[in-house]
Amino acid sequence: MTNINNFGIIGGDKRQLYCGKSAMDDGYGVYICGFEKCDAMLGMKISDLESTMKNADAFILPLPVTKDGITLNTPLSDKNISLDSFFQLAENKPVFCGMPLPFNRDNIYDYSAREEFATANAVPTSEGAIETAMLEYDGTINNSKCLVTGYGRIGRVLSDMLDGLGADVTVSARNLKDLEFIKAKGFHALHISDIRGNFDIIFNTVPYRIFNAHILAKTAQNSLVIDLASMPGGVDFGAAERLHIKAVHALSLPGKVAPKASGIIIKNAVYNIIREENL
């Protein structure tokens, strides 16, 4: 990590600010750009694009890096920064971003594709799911009957947290190995093809339509359903509405509920790339 002394943070939301703040606390010089509309700069000063591009040795771009394929994603700025002009100015300096970009270059590194990035984000996602449940559910998580479908990253972290709050936890998974891990935790284990029971809160993490009208009617009549799977999600929301089941599609939780934690996760992924690639 000898060649990079100054980061340019350009565009994005509060996560990027916290990412920059955390790098600054680690001793790096940090240039922040594209945050004119932000009201709380965490004690950092905004730089203009020119000095940022000139002084920074590497750039951290937001997640997603662009929404239109043409300009950088800068929700906290009124200025448009085109991808073309950015990469021209960036020359060959390393650029870290959350893909996808409509093109590729040798100096582009996708932090969002890394396994440890996705795993670390399971924590703010799980807390966001619990926060959503707390806001929407009139009872307590404690002693409620919770179902978590799927035992990947989010399922693992979320089920432990629900257990830690004193919920009665059931987890459904597909493979036998995961079902053994679930049983070892003391949770109820259900094969995903055999979901049944009456639950107070259902958290879906599986990205395909498990909760069709039939399964909703069978398991969720009195439930709050929180779908954490990315679009189109795993819940038939139309059926849920017809059945008067409260269902919430909770997406992009890390940035919403824990921008500080999310920003540090981005920073750590960038550090890992720098170390692995000897940048």
Binding residues (CB under 8 A) for its own copies: these are 14, 18, 114-116, 119-120, 122-124, 126-127, 130-131, 134-135, 137-143, 153, 156-157, 160-161, 163-168, 175-177, 179-181, 183-186, 257-261, 264, 272
CA distance 151 to 41: 38
| Least distance CB 131 / its own copies (angstroms) | 4
Q: Which residues pair with 202 in a beta bridge?
A: 147, 225
Look up residue 14 and give its amino acid: K
User: Which one, 209 or 260, has the nearer CB to its own copies?
Assistant: 260
Burial-class residue 235 by CB neighbours within 10 Å (0-12, 13-18, 19+). buried
Percentages of the chain per state (helix, strand, coil), in multiples of 5:
40, 20, 40
CB of 165 to its own copies, least distance (A): 5
The one-letter code for the residue type at 28 is: Y
Smallest separation (angstroms) from its own copies to the CB of 247 = 17
Provide, rounded to whole angstroms, the least separation between the CB of residue 170 and its own copies: 13
- Residue 56 vs 270, nearer CB to its own copies: 270
Show the tokens assigned to 255.
């940035």
Closer Cβ to its own copies, 13 or 227, answer by number: 13
Nearest to 28 by CA among 45, 12, 8, 47: 8
The helix/strand/coil state of 33 is strand
Task: Give least dist CB 248 to its own copies, A.
Answer: 15
Which residue, 87 or 137, is less far from its own copies as judged by CB? 137
Of 132 and 204, nearer to its own copies (C-beta) is 132
